[in-house]
Amino acid sequence: MSPRSEEQFEEIRVEKRQLILDTALELFANYGYHTTSVSQIAKKAKISKGLMYNYFDSKEHVLKEIIEIGFNETYQILDPNKDGILEVDEMEFFIDKTFELLKKNVEFWRCYFKISFQSDVFPFLEEKMKEIMEPTMKMMLDYFTKQGYEDPMTEAMLFGSLMDGVAMDYVFTPDLIPIDKMKDAIIKRYCK
């Protein structure tokens, strides 16, 4: 058997890193951040604890990476042409794709909502949210102004709260939430 190439080593490295992230996400989402240990992540991923530290220096680093990936994935679908202006079709695309991501990544959103209520974990999350939310809120405010809403700021905040509320209800009680009907109702309300 010939020795592995650099490309093969890199592929293994990427796979192991992703395995750690996926395993940690599952454990954080189902058991909570504080009750999940590095040892539990390593055991479930079937790797050594030492190997895990080759990829991440701490459990917090793993969580930060998970949040970064999830937020970036969601942020990428907002304003697809990246011109800083939301048109009606872009808002509809954003809502539609957000619900698609929600259904696809239930564990990520369950983890996100759980940690957002943990004050000692929240400072990191708050920092990341500010980074994303400031430009997002500006685009939303401009969108609702352009759409002729009487109070665009309140409408933008209502929209965000509605999206968060539906998402939270869905990730914790999926059988009770008619997610596609909710999506259609939000599109009907905000994409006229």
- What would the two tokens of residue 183 be? 């999506």
Measured distance CA(42)–CA(24) in Å, rounded: 9
Q: Which amino acid, residue 77?
A: I
Q: Where are the domains of the chain?
A: 58-190
Class at the top of the CATH hierarchy for domain 58-190:
mainly alpha
Per-residue pLDDT, 3:
73
CA-CA distance, 185 to 7, in Å (whole number)?
Answer: 48
Helices and strands: H and E segment counts in the chain: 9, 0
Q: How many other C-beta atoms can be found within 10 angstroms of the C-beta atom of residue 109?
A: 22
Q: Which long-range contacts (CB under 8 A, 24 or more apart) does 85-94 make?
A: 85/139, 85/142, 86/139, 86/140, 86/142, 86/143, 88/147, 88/191, 88/192, 89/191, 91/143, 91/190, 91/191, 92/187, 92/191
8 A C-beta contact, residue 185 and residue 166: no
CA dihedral 21, 27, 30, 32 (to 10 degrees): -100
Amino acid letter, 185: A
Residue pLDDT tens, the chain, 192 long: 567 777 777 787 889 999 999 999 999 999 988 899 999 999 999 999 998 999 999 998 999 899 888 888 888 888 888 898 999 999 999 999 999 999 999 999 999 888 887 777 767 677 777 777 788 889 999 999 999 999 999 999 999 999 999 999 999 999 999 999 999 999 999 998
- 118, 124, 127, 131: CA torsion to nearest 10: -110
In the chain, the amino acid numbered 116 is S
C-alpha 100/C-alpha 113 separation (Å) is 18
